[in-house]
Amino acid sequence: MDAGGTDSNGREYKTADEMWNEQTGDVNKKTVWYRQGVSYWEGVNATVDGVLGGFSHVNEPDISCSDDFLKIILSERFSADVKPQPLVALDCGSGIGRVTKNLLIRYFNEVDLLEPVSHFLEAARETLTSGDYANLDTHKAVNFYCVPLQDFTPDIGRYDVIWIQWCIGHLTDDDFITFFKRAKVGLKPGGLFVLKENIARSGFVLDNEDRSITRSDKYFRDLFSRCGLHVYKAK
């Protein structure tokens, strides 16, 4: 990746490769990168405000925009006459299950959650297996995987949609690419990934505190083409 970027302290990097090399250039550094990413979130409350970095007011507009986007995709690609039901989704970096609870479980018959921070995942499990959610036999959370994306391989052909929101910035470019290549086999024929992310105006911004990067739209598109994926729809 040849675009330059900055970090949260204003330091400039000439290229992303320079930054990746410095941050994750050997096995030890890479282990530290991922450990610090998870440690950051381990220190965060298992609440909507916690997983949204203090911006809980973003929850409602976020869900409503995602709802609009997902509805279009579902009608174009997954209507009952086109696609065998039940529909199954995977919520990646699910945190406390905010996206599953407010969005995915309304549309998908089964949702699996993947989240490396156990107190988040346990909060998700508690919400999604009790109260009203426990009675919804046709729309339910099924598997709760306490694993980071870079170590996850899905079951072959299980998912219609793999939803990845506000967590892919924790992955290095190499792990981003290998994740998507591995996860592809987890999609049913005609299935797709939905990636929802903040974007940088250009290049990237490294967050020194939570060990993640924000990539530009172009950066994402370059990575997708290196994954052998094409963009079906963007918003």
Q: Is 93 in the site for ligand SAH (CB under 6 A)?
A: yes
193: amino acid identity, one letter:
F
- Closest-by-Cβ residue to ligand SAH is 95
Strand-pairing partners, residue 140, are 110
Among the listed residues 104, 229, 221, 120, the one whose alpha carbon sits nearest the alpha carbon of residue 167: 120
Angle between helices 27-42 and 16-24 (to 10 degrees): 90
Interface with ligand SAH, residue 98, by CB under 6 A: yes
Q: Quick check: 186 binds ligand SAH (CB under 6 A)?
A: no
95 binds ligand SAH (CB under 6 A): yes
# chain residues binding ligand SAH, by CB under 6 A:
21
Q: Which of 148, 154, 186, 203 binds ligand SAH (CB under 6 A)?
A: 148
Residue that the structure tokens 């890479």 belong to: 30
From candidates 149, 161, 162, 194, binder to ligand SAH by CB under 6 A: 149
Q: Are the C-beta atoms of 2 and 202 separated by less than 8 Å?
A: no
150, 177, 218, 226: residue in contact with ligand SAH (rule CB under 6 A) = 150
Count of residues making up the chain: 235
* CA distance linking residue 67 with residue 161, whole number of Å: 14
113 binds ligand SAH (CB under 6 A): no
For 137, residues 6+ apart whose C-beta sits below 8 A from its C-beta are none
For ligand SAH, which residue of 13, 33, 41, 220 counts as binding (CB under 6 A)?
A: 41
Q: What residue ranges bind ligand SAH (CB under 6 A)?
A: 34, 37-38, 41, 51, 93-95, 98-99, 115-117, 120, 148-150, 165-167, 170
